[in-house]
């Protein structure tokens, strides 16, 4: 090795050692750990981790929000509901407390009325509360109207086979009387809202208007 080259080599060697030992001019260049205290570095690292976590959470929340939009474009936030608002009732059906109601001017026997409702994926109205009774009375507009209650099997039951709750009935006084005075055989096995807005049992084959009911369709059904 030439002398100059030897000197250069030694110089580089010294510089290299000095970097390791921190004893030369270069070693005096402060490192990051010297510029910023370790505790601060740890704090910064901690904050960075927190930022990453917050970023991930933000992505999850954004994704969840986009999923809260309902199929019909309605939004759970707009509707202030925890779930999507139900579908609107079909045309000519009236919405009331989560159910849809339809009244027809076509007069039918109780069985005919029952079948007609079923063909529309509904059932003859089952009156389960005072509110529903009052609604049905108003909906019937003072015309005698079949409801989905019958004792043709010997016991008063709704069309879904639920036994009648006798603590919640709206019979006219003296009804049901299973009146046989009409002389047409048998008594009276089908219930209706009569002219006086009270329930009466009547011959099932007589034609009256009727109310169909169905649950308002929900997104999860
Ligand atoms: Ca009902
Ligand atoms: Ca009667």
pTM above 0.85, yes or no: no
Report the largest interatomic distance among the alpha carbons of the chain, rounded to a whole angstrom.
Answer: 140
Q: How far is the CA of 58 from the centre of ligand 2 (A)?
A: 66
Helices (H) and strands (E) in the chain, counts: 5, 8
Q: Using the CB atoms, write b or e for 142-162: b if 16+ within 10 Å.
A: eebbbbbbbbeeeebbbbeee
Q: How far is the CA of 180 from the centre of ligand 1 (A)?
A: 29
Q: How far is the CA of 125 from the centre of ligand 1 (A)?
A: 6
Which residues neighbour 49 within 8 Å (Cβ) at sequence distance 6 or greater? none
Terminus-to-terminus CA distance in the chain, angstroms?
A: 90
Give the number of whichever ligand sits closest to the CA of residue 147: 1
What are the pLDDT tens digits along the chain (221 aa)?
444 454 554 444 444 444 444 444 444 545 555 565 677 667 776 777 776 777 777 766 555 554 456 766 666 665 566 677 788 999 999 999 999 999 998 999 999 999 999 999 999 999 999 999 999 999 999 899 999 999 999 999 999 999 999 999 999 999 999 999 999 989 999 999 999 999 999 999 999 999 999 999 876 64
Residue spans of beta strands (DSSP E) within 129-205: 145-150, 157-158, 190-193, 199-202
């Amino acid at each position: 090795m030439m002398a100059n080259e030897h000197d250069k080599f030694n110089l580089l060697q010294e510089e290299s050692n000095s970097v390791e030992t921190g004893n030369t001019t270069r070693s005096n260049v402060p490192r990051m750990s010297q510029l910023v205290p370790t505790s601060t570095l740890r704090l910064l690292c901690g904050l960075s981790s927190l930022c990453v976590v917050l970023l991930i959470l933000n992505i999850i929340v954004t994704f969840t929000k986009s999923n809260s939009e309902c199929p019909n474009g309605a939004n759970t936030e707009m509707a202030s509901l925890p779930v999507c608002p139900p579908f609107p009732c079909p045309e000519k059906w009236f919405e009331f407390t989560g159910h849809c109601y339809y009244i027809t001017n076509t007069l039918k026997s109780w069985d005919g009325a029952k079948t007609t409702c079923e063909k529309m994926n509904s059932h003859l109205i089952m009156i389960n509360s005072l509110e529903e009774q009052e609604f049905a009375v108003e909906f019937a507009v003072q015309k005698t109207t079949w409801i989905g209650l019958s004792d043709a099997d010997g016991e008063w039951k709704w069309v879904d086979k639920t036994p009648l709750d006798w603590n919640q009935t709206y019979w006219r006084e003296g009804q049901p009387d299973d009146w046989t005075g009409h002389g047409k055989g048998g008594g009276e096995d089908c219930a209706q809202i009569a002219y006086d807005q009270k329930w009466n049992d009547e011959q099932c084959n007589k034609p009256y208007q009727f109310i169909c009911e169905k649950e308002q369709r929900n997104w999860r059904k």
